[in-house]
């Protein structure tokens, strides 16, 4: 699988509800979806994926956008269930109906390679042993299944994480094993507000101390120079200048 789609399953699992709802907006709407054509499903959005996948094409084998949208949302939830389970089990994969569904879909296709225009091209065909099964291969489904299977076979499952801030899945980088947030949220300040306020207050106090110190120095040097020019000894000029600085600061404060 090319680098672009290597972690596509993460991207698909992280799609927002708005993105999922718009997936089939550009499909032809002339195909009227009638509820009586659906299998006997009480709640399609939570329906068995095996039943949903068989109901997404009409009699002419054209994809029915309304059904594909429901199937995409259901598939996304199954994908999230698999990823959540891996994270909860600290990188250990367990068998489930959701996972078996994806494995079955992946096994229904065979990858072939052909040289075309000087490049090696991947081509996918139905498994001859499974010709009787109607198989859909929209890009999101194909790349989600393939990238997930590749990750489960070759990836370090313990690196799969869920950001506590945005609640999106991400693959933890090897160089940052203590990485707690996704790449985007890692750039944010996650320090509690109480601690942030305390640090701000301490910073202001330190800034005031530096300002007062600089002011003391300026006042002392000016007064010391004036006293020396007035004929006072260095020792007396220093003492008088220090007293002057204290008096000036008391007045201003």
Task: Say which residue, 245 or 60, is predicted with more confidence.
Answer: 245
Closest Cα to residue 105, out of 80, 134, 82, 84? Answer: 134
pLDDT in tens, 78-92: 999 999 999 999 899
Which pair of structure tokens corresponds to residue 8?
Answer: 């596509």
Task: Say which residue, 8 or 43, is predicted with more confidence.
Answer: 8
Residue 65 and residue 24 in contact, taking contact as beta carbons nearer than 8 Å: yes
In this predicted structure, what is the pLDDT of residue 151? 93
> What residues form DSSP beta bridges with 171?
160
DSSP code, position 56: S
> Is residue 133's pLDDT more than 90?
no
In this predicted structure, what is the pLDDT of residue 107? 76
Q: Model confidence at 148, in pLDDT bands (50, 70, 90)? A: very high
Residue 180 and residue 166 in contact, taking contact as beta carbons nearer than 8 Å: no
Report d(CA 147, CA 135) in Å as an integer: 18
Closest Cα to residue 169, out of 12, 17, 10, 18? Answer: 10
Orientation of helix 193-229 relative to helix 234-252, angle to 10°:
140
In this predicted structure, what is the pLDDT of residue 162? 93
> Is residue 39's pLDDT more than 80?
no
Lowest mean pLDDT among 18-32, 123-137, 139-153, 210-224: 123-137
Task: Say which residue, 15 or 59, is predicted with more confidence.
Answer: 15
Burial (CB count <10 Å: 0-12, 13-18, 19+), residue 197: exposed
pLDDT in tens, 154-173: 878 999 999 988 899 999 88
Closest Cα to residue 11, out of 103, 113, 63, 83? Answer: 83
Residue 87 and residue 162 in contact, taking contact as beta carbons nearer than 8 Å: yes
Alpha helix (H) residue ranges in 22-131:
49-54, 65-88, 97-107
Which pair of structure tokens corresponds to residue 160?
Answer: 């799969």
Collapse the DSSP code of 148 into the 3-class scheme (helix H, G, I; strand E, B; otherwise coil) and give the result. Answer: helix
Lowest mean pLDDT among 82-86, 213-217, 245-249: 245-249
In this predicted structure, what is the pLDDT of residue 168? 93
Alpha helix (H) residue ranges in 1-64:
8-13, 17-21, 49-54
Report d(CA 79, CA 176) in Å as an integer: 25
Q: Model confidence at 136, in pLDDT bands (50, 70, 90)? A: low
What number is the average pLDDT over the span 203-218? 87
Lowest mean pLDDT among 108-112, 205-209, 220-224: 108-112
> Is residue 126's pLDDT more than 70?
no
Residue 88 and residue 82 in contact, taking contact as beta carbons nearer than 8 Å: no
Cα dihedral: 134, 139, 145, 147 (round 10)? 160
Q: Model confidence at 132, in pLDDT bands (50, 70, 90)? A: very low
Average pLDDT over the chain reads 78
Residue 186 and residue 207 in contact, taking contact as beta carbons nearer than 8 Å: no
What number is the average pLDDT over the span 204-223? 88
Q: Model confidence at 134, in pLDDT bands (50, 70, 90)? A: very low
Q: Which residues contact 87 (CB under 8 A, 6 or more apart)?
A: 160, 161, 162
> Is residue 31's pLDDT more than 50?
no
């Amino acid at each position: 699988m090319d680098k672009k789609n290597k972690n596509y399953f993460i991207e698909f699992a992280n799609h927002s509800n708005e993105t999922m709802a718009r997936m089939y907006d550009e499909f032809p709407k002339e195909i009227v979806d009638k509820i009586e054509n659906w299998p006997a499903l009480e709640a399609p959005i939570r329906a068995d994926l095996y039943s949903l996948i068989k109901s997404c094409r009409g009699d002419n084998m054209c994809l029915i956008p309304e059904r594909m949208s429901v199937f995409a949302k259901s598939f996304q939830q199954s994908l999230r269930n698999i990823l959540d389970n891996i994270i909860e089990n600290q990188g250990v994969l367990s068998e489930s109906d959701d996972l078996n569904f994806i494995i079955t879909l992946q096994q229904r296709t065979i990858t072939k390679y052909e040289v075309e225009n000087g490049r090696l091209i991947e081509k996918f065909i139905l498994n001859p042993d499974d010709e009787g099964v109607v198989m859909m291969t929209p890009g999101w489904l194909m790349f989600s299944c393939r990238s997930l299977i590749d990750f489960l076979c070759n990836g370090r499952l313990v690196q799969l994480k869920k950001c506590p801030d945005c609640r999106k899945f991400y693959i933890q980088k090897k160089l940052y094993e203590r990485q707690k947030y996704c790449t985007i949220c890692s750039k944010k300040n996650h320090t509690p507000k109480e601690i942030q306020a305390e640090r701000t207050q301490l910073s202001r106090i330190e800034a005031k101390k530096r300002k007062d110190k600089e002011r003391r120095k300026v006042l002392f040097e000016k007064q010391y120079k004036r006293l020396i020019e007035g004929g006072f000894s260095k020792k007396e000029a220093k003492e008088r200048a220090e007293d002057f600085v204290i008096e000036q600061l008391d007045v201003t404060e």
